[in-house]
Amino acid sequence: MKRVIMAATVAVLLAGFLAPVIGLDFGEPAYTDMDEYFVQHGQEQTGGNNIVTDVVFDFRGFDTLGEATVLFVAVLGVGLVFRTLRGGET
Amino acid sequence: MRMSKVVRTAADILFPFVLIFGFYIVVHGHLTPGGGFQGGAVIATAIVLLIAAYGYDAIARRITKDALRNTEALGLIAFIATALVALALGAGFFYNWLAGTGLLFGMPVGFGPNPGDLNTGGTIPLMNLAVGIEVLGALSLIVLYMLSGTQEAA
Amino acid sequence: MYFDLPFIAAAVIATIGIITMLFRRNLVKMIMGLSLVESSVNLFLVSLGYRTGAIAPIFTNAPSVRMAMPTVQAMTLTNIVIGIATTALLLSLAMVIYRKYGTVNADDVRKLRG
């Protein structure tokens, strides 16, 4: 019984994931103004040669701020968990 | 629990090279593949190498969790402060207030391939450094906390 | 040319991860399934931004200016860091559960509680 449910789930998930993906062309992404703008103007505006770093730290700085905050809070959570585990020791 | 002398010597020899490689990735984040997150992770692996060679107890005495926690908080504060300076100068939050000014990291760059000059990028190298410090503290702290959880609590 | 192979691989890896999360009762294996789903998302994002014959979007000594899309790679970087954070938190919670119940099997944890 479990195997039947598992096979059915696999089939449903595979169909669900493959359906939107199968029509995409690998190597020929859809044209977006944003990416084109980053590649054409990112170097002049920020001075960095690495466009990915320009996007991460300049154009999408808020994203990185949230990312750094998530990492900080996760470490706080890990510390909280293990502090209670070891009985108050730092 | 420490490993044999061969492993400890190899770790001693490799440790500065791993540190320098991580620092290179952080500082050259705006020129070559890499950046603050990747370089910080590499530097954290140097600390993990020391832990693997010398054991948790010996390293946890030298590199305390308090120091790493302060490092992490310092990195995050430096990151936010770099972004806040732009607000004080009258521009938007996260504005690149150093790019193209000719000051530190402020050489203007034209479009097109170039050999790469370290003195470019505006606030990006500063933010790379700040995030590198933060990720170094965060990942080492996660490893140290998890190892302290696996030690028998007396 | 490549018959969408990266996209299909991403779909298969995501399916494996979700199946692992649904049908394994071991908490560590469920966390592994979550990591697999994260990896498949990374693979999907990176392959979504690839152009045939393009280089990485870095201008240092670049041989050409036909470049892959930078935004998806930045998103991938964000996803990797957040994946590390969630995995660390989940693994430490699994360690606490093991300390408290003596097992990481989700069914046993529920039984012992009742």
CA-CA distance, B72 to A7, in Å (whole number)? Answer: 46
| Other Cβ atoms closer than 10 A to A11 | 11
ipTM of the complex: 0.85
Confidence (pLDDT) at B154: 37
Q: HSE on the CB side for C43, CA within 13 Å?
A: 18
In contact, C43 and C6? CB cutoff 8 Å: yes
Confidence (pLDDT) at A85: 57
Are B112 and C65 within 8 A, CB to CB? Answer: yes
User: Which of these, C52, C8, C72, lies nearest to A20 by C-alpha position?
Assistant: C8
C35-38: long-range contacts at Cβ-Cβ below 8 A with a sequence spacing of 24 or more? C35/C83, C35/C87, C37/C13, C38/C79, C38/C83
CA-CA distance, C73 to C42, in Å (whole number)? Answer: 9
Are B124 and A82 within 8 A, CB to CB? Answer: no
Confidence (pLDDT) at C112: 65
**Which pLDDT tens digit goes with each residue over B23-33?**
999 998 888 88
Domains of chain C: 5-113 (1.10.287.3510)
In contact, C90 and C97? CB cutoff 8 Å: no
A75 touches chain B (CB under 8 A): yes
In this predicted model, which residue has the larger pLDDT, A47 or C45? C45
In this structure, chain C runs to a length of: 114
Residues from chain C that touch B116, judged by Cβ atoms under 8 A, are 60-61
CA-CA distance, C10 to C52, in Å (whole number)? Answer: 19
Q: C85 to chain B, minimum CA–CA distance in Å?
A: 9
Are B99 and A46 within 8 A, CB to CB? Answer: yes
Pair of tokens at residue B91 = 């521009």
**Which pLDDT tens digit goes with each residue over B65-109?**
889 999 999 999 999 998 888 888 888 888 888 877 777 777 878
Place of tokens 């590199």: B63
Q: B143 to chain A, minimum CA–CA distance in Å?
A: 10
**Which pLDDT tens digit goes with each residue over B13-26?**
999 999 999 999 99
CA-CA distance, C18 to C11, in Å (whole number)? Answer: 11
- Among B37, B112, B146, select the one facing C77 at the smallest CB separation: B37
CA-CA distance, A73 to B53, in Å (whole number)? Answer: 29
A65 touches chain B (CB under 8 A): yes
User: Which residues are CB-contacts of A66 (< 8 A; sequence separation ≥ 6)?
Assistant: none
Residues from chain B that touch A61, judged by Cβ atoms under 8 A, are 83, 93-94, 127
Are B35 and C91 within 8 A, CB to CB? Answer: no
B118 touches chain C (CB under 8 A): no
Pair of tokens at residue C71 = 């935004």
C60 touches chain A (CB under 8 A): yes
Q: What is the dihedral of CA A20, C83, C110, C20, to 10 degrees?
A: 40
Mean pLDDT, to the nearest integer, of A64-82? 90
Residue contacts between B and C (CB atoms, under 8 Å)? 37
